[in-house]
A and B are shown apart, each in its own frame.
Chain A
Amino acid sequence: MPAKPLLEFNDNGIYCAAGDFYIDPWRPVKRAVITHAHSDHAKWGHQTYLAHTLSREVLKYRLGDIELQTIDYNVPVLVNGVQISLHPAGHIIGSAQVRLEFKGEIWVVSGDYKLEDDGVCTPFEPVKCHSFISECTFGMPVYKWKPQQLIFNDMNNWWKQNVSEGKTTVLVGYSLGKAQRILQGLDMSIGNVYTHGVIQNTHEALGRNGVMLNPTIRITNQTDRDEMRKGLILCPPSAVGTPWIRKFYPYSFGYCSGWMALRGAKRRRAADRGFVLSDHADWDGLLKAIEATNCETVFLTHGYTATFSRYLTDIGFDAHEAHTLYGGDEASTADEPDISLVDEHGEVIQNGTGAEKSDNEEPGSTDSSRKSGLTNQEKSEALKKAKKLGGAL
C-alpha cells in the first residue's frame, strides 16, 4: 500500500491526488468525474467534466454550457497517469461506477446503484477492486425490494381503477431516473401518459442522446382535462401540493420511492398510494454488491453509514464511514428546507435550495455555493464549544 491512499475525502469531494481530479465534487473544482447526472452528484461550476455518454444531454440540459468529455462503459482513459474507466451502476440512464487504477491499486466509486435490471438503464456490473466506496442509502435490513414487475402490476391496476372511478391518476417520481423507469413499466394500452414540463424536458434531452422511451404528452394550458382523466400524469415531487397539481382534481396520487416501504414515511407523504420502487440497492443488494467486488476496504458515503459499516465490520469487512454531502434524491426522507438557517452570529449557514427543487431547476442555475452541513473541522470546533457551554449536559 502506498503511504497516501489513491482516493481521499476532503471538503470539496472525493479527491484523487495522483490524478489531480475529483469524483462527484460538491464544490467547484478544476476536473470532475461524474458518476451520474443527479444534482447532488453533478454540481455546477467545475472547469471540466468527464461522464458517461448517455449522461451528456441531461448534463447539458441541467448545467448549461459545460466543458464535458464523455466516454462509454469499459473504455479506459488516462488522467495524469491514473487510469479511469466507467462501469454500469444500474441506477439511472448513464449512471456509472468509476474505476481507478494506479500502480496496480484499484479503487471503485459506486455512485448510486441498484442490482435489479430495470430494463431502462444498463444493468449493474460488479467490478473487482481493492477499495470500494459505496453508497448505502437503504443500508438497513428493513429495506427489501420486491421485483419491479409486481410493483408495476399494482400500479397499472390502480391506474385502471382510477379510470373507472373518473379520477385522474398522478404518479410522483424524480424527473431523472424514476420517471423513465415508471414510464417503461406502465401498460400503455390503458391510456395516455402526460408529463410535467421538467420530466418532458428530461425526456427530450435523453432523446437527443438516442434514448427511446414510450410516448408522452407535455401538459400545457391547452391539454384537455377530460382526456387526462383517462390518462396518467407523471410529475416530480416538487409539484406536490402546488396549484399546478390541484388543477387536475379529482385525482388520486401515488408516490414512488424506496421510502414508501415504511408506514411512517408513507403517512407523512399523505399519498393515496405508496409504491415501493427505488433506484438504490436494498440491504441484500448492497451486501451482494460489496461481496462481489472482493474488496479489502469499504467506505460508506451516504445513507445509514453508521449502522451499515458496523454490520460490515461485524461480518469481517474493513469498513469505514465517510463524510460526504450526497443524498439529494432519495437519500433523505426530509425535504430540504426552503428557508435559511442562521447561526449564532446571524450568518446564513444554509440557504434554502431544496434538493427536490433542484429537480426543477432551470439549466445553468447554481447551488454550488451552498454550504450545507458541517465540515469535520467545523464539527469538532462546535463540539468543543458545546462541551464548554454544556459541561453539565
Chain B
Amino acid sequence: MKTFAALFSSLDETNKTNEKVRILKEYFKNVPDEDKIQTLALFTGRKPKRQINSTLVKTWAMEMANIPNWLFEESYHVVGDLGETIALLLPNPTATQNKSLSAWIAEINTLANLPEADKKSWLLSAWASMEQQERFVFNKILTGSFRVGVSQSLIVKALAELSDLEPAVLTHRIMGNWDPATFSFIELTQQDDGSSDISRPYPFYLAYAIQETSSQSKSAAEIEEALGATAHWQAEWKWDGIRAQTIKRQQEIFVWSRGEELSTDKFPEFHPFLNALPDGTVLDGEAICFANNCPLPFNVLQTRIGRKNLTKKILSESPMAFIAYDILEHEGVDIRQMPLNKRRQILESLHRESGLQDVFRLSPVVNFSSWEQLYELRKRSRDEFAEGFMLKKLGSPYLVGRKRGDWWKWKVDPLSVDAVMIYAQKGHGRRADLYTDYTFAVWDQDKLVPFAKAYSGLTDKEINQVDYFVKRNTLEKFGPVRTVKPQLVFEIGFEGINKSSRHKSGVALRFPRILRWRQDKTIQEADNIETLNEFLK
C-alpha cells in the first residue's frame, strides 16, 4: 500500500490536471491489476464495507497514543479529519511490511466475523507497521471515509490513454454496481464490453450554470447573444428534487440516483409504472415529492430520503412522483446519440401509453418565442415550484458528464438577507483549523436570532480574514463552537424558505450560502426576522 499512499500524496501536491493524469498513468503502469481495479473502485467512491466502527477505532487509537479522550477530540478539531488525526497521534512504527493495497483490503474484508479482541490486535499491529502517510490512507479506507481530490473524469482520462478506449465508453463501464473483487481490470479495458450487468446505468449528462451567482445575472439580450435563435432550444422548468435514472430490463427494475446510488427500494411509488414499461427502457428525470398535481417543498423530500424504513406515515406525508425529461434506451437500444427532439417524441409516446400518469409525469416543455419572454417567465419560477429553467438544444445528443454548450441551467436568483455572524466553528479538510463554518442571525426586535448556518461563498483570502477576526473576538467557547462579537455582516443567499418548528427562528432555509461580505454595513443595518417571514408568504 506504500505505492498507493505515495500516489495519494503526489496527487495532493499538484493542482494541475495534466500533472494529475501523468501521476495516475505512472501509477497504473506500475501496480498489479488487482491494485488497479481497487484504486479505481476507491477513486469512484466504491469503498469497502466498514468492518470496525469508528468509535472502536478511536478508542484503540487513544489507547495506543496514550492520550485522554478530550485531547483526542481537541486534536480532531484542529486536524479536521479522523483518519489523519489518528495517523498523527500514534507513536512511531516499530515494524515494517510491504503488503499491497488489495492485500490490505482483502484483510479488512475478512474482519467481519472476528471477535473484537482479534480485531483490536489486528489493528494495533497494522498501525505499528506503517509510517504516517500509509497509516493515514489506511485509516481512511478502514473507516469508510476515503475521498480523493481527483475527479472521476481524470482517472478515466488516464485509463483511456492507457487502454485506447474512449473516455465515454470507460465512464459507462464503470457505472453501477460492480465489485472490485469480481470485476477485473482486463474486463474493464477489453475492446468489447463483456458486461452482462442489467442494472448498469448510463452516466448522467450534467449542465453548466448560465450564471453562477446572482451578481453575474444575465439579461435576455446576453442570453440571446450566447445561445442564438429560440427556435433551436427547448425550455423546461428546473425541478428541485433528486436526479434519477430508472431502468427496466429483463423484467427487472432499478432506480439510480445521481450519486450513483442504487435506490430502487427508496421509491416504492415508482415500481408499478416501471414494471409496466416495456423492457429495455431507461429514463432520466427527477424524483420529487408531489401531491395534488403540485410539487412539495424540498424539505418534505429531505425528511424522507434519510429514512431507512419507509413507514405508512412517511409514504402518505411525502408521496413521490417521477418527472421524466429524457429517454436514453428504447427497446434495448442505446439512443443517446439521437437528437433531443426525437428522444422527446419517444418519451412522450411511452408516457401516453402509461396508465400511471399520476406518478410517471412528463416534464412539460415551456413555450416561448423570445428570450425576453422566458426571462420574464423565469421570475415566476418559485410560483411554479421550480428553481428556474433548463435550456436544451433540440438537436443535442445525450452526452456524458458535465459538458458545455448544449444544455444549460438558468437558475432563478437566490433570495437574500443581510445577517450578522454570531457563532463560528472550524471547518474540515482543506479548511481544517480555520474558522469557516458560521452561524448567522437577524434581528428580532433588539435581539439577534440565529437562522442559518453557511459554509461556502467566501474566497480563501476572506476566510483568512474572518478566521483572524474570530480568533481575536471570541466571547465564549462551547466545545468547538465560539461565540463571536456580533460585528461582521454578510449577505446570505438561499433557494427557498419554509416554516420549521425545529429552528429557533421558526424558518428553515434551502441551500443557504454566503453571497458576499458586507464590509460596508454595520450590524444595525442587518435585516430582521420580518424580512424572512415575508418570504414565507
| Interface residue ranges, A against B (CB under 8 Å) | 140-144, 261-268, 270-274, 304, 306-307, 310-311, 314, 332-337, 339, 341-346, 350, 372-374, 379, 382-383, 386, 389-393
Contact = CB atoms under 8 A, between A and B. Distances in A.
A265 B84 contact: no
B357 interface: no
B81 A264 contact: yes
Nearest to B427: A264
Interface in B453-471: 460-461, 464-465, 467-469, 471
B13 A272 contact: yes
B485 A382 contact: yes
Contact of B464 (A270, A273, A307, A334): A334
B431 interface: yes
Contacts of B85: 142
B78 interface: yes
B441 A390 contact: yes
Contact of A390 (B68, B71, B422): B422
A218 B33 CA distance: 51
Classify chain B: how many residues form its interface, as a range: 35 or more
B80 interface: yes
Contacts of A314: 68
Contacts of A379: 475
B75 A141 contact: yes
Given A264-B81, A264-B431, A374 B486 contact: no
Contacts of A271: 13
B448 interface: yes
B475 A382 contact: yes
Interface in B213-250: none
A386 B465 contact: no
B96 interface: no
B13 to A, nearest CB: 6
Contact of B483 (A265, A335, A341, A393): A393
B432 A262 contact: yes
A144 B476 CA distance: 30
A261 B476 CA distance: 28
Given A264-B429, A268-B460, A389-B448, A142 B483 contact: no
B296 interface: no
Nearest to B460: A268
Contacts of B382: none
21 contacts: A142-B89, A143-B88, A262-B79, A262-B432, A263-B136, A263-B429, A264-B79, A264-B80, A265-B433, A268-B431, A268-B460, A270-B15, A271-B13, A333-B434, A337-B464, A343-B487, A344-B524, A373-B473, A383-B475, A383-B476, A386-B475
B486 A306 contact: no
Given A144-B88, A265-B432, A272-B13, A390 B447 contact: yes
Nearest to B523: A344
Contacts of B485: 374, 382, 386
A389 B88 CA distance: 42
Contacts of B403: none
Given A262-B433, A386-B485, A389-B446, A341 B469 contact: yes
Interface of B: 12-15, 65, 67-68, 70-71, 74-75, 78-81, 84-85, 88-89, 136, 149, 422, 428-434, 441, 444, 446-450, 460-461, 464-465, 467-469, 471-473, 475-477, 483, 485-488, 504, 519, 522-524
B519 A339 contact: yes
Which of A271, A350, A393 is packed against the most chain B CB atoms within 10 Å? A393
Contacts of A343: 487
Given A344-B487, A392-B449, A393-B483, A142 B75 contact: yes
A266 B12 contact: yes
Contacts of B524: 344
A337 B465 contact: yes
Contacts of B432: 262-265
B447 A392 contact: yes
A260 to B, nearest CB: 11
Given A344-B522, A392-B504, A264 B88 contact: no
A389 B71 contact: no
A140 B430 contact: no
A304 B78 contact: yes
Contacts of A335: 461, 464, 468
Contacts of B519: 339, 341-342
Contacts of B428: 264
A267 B78 contact: no
9 closest residue pairs by CB, A with B:
A264-B432, A373-B472, A337-B465, A142-B88, A334-B464, A383-B475, A267-B430, A334-B467, A390-B448
Contacts of A373: 472-473
A264 B13 contact: no
Contacts of A374: 472-473, 485
B19 to A, nearest CB: 9
Nearest to A380: B475
A236 to B, nearest CB: 17
B74 A307 contact: yes
B75 A140 contact: yes
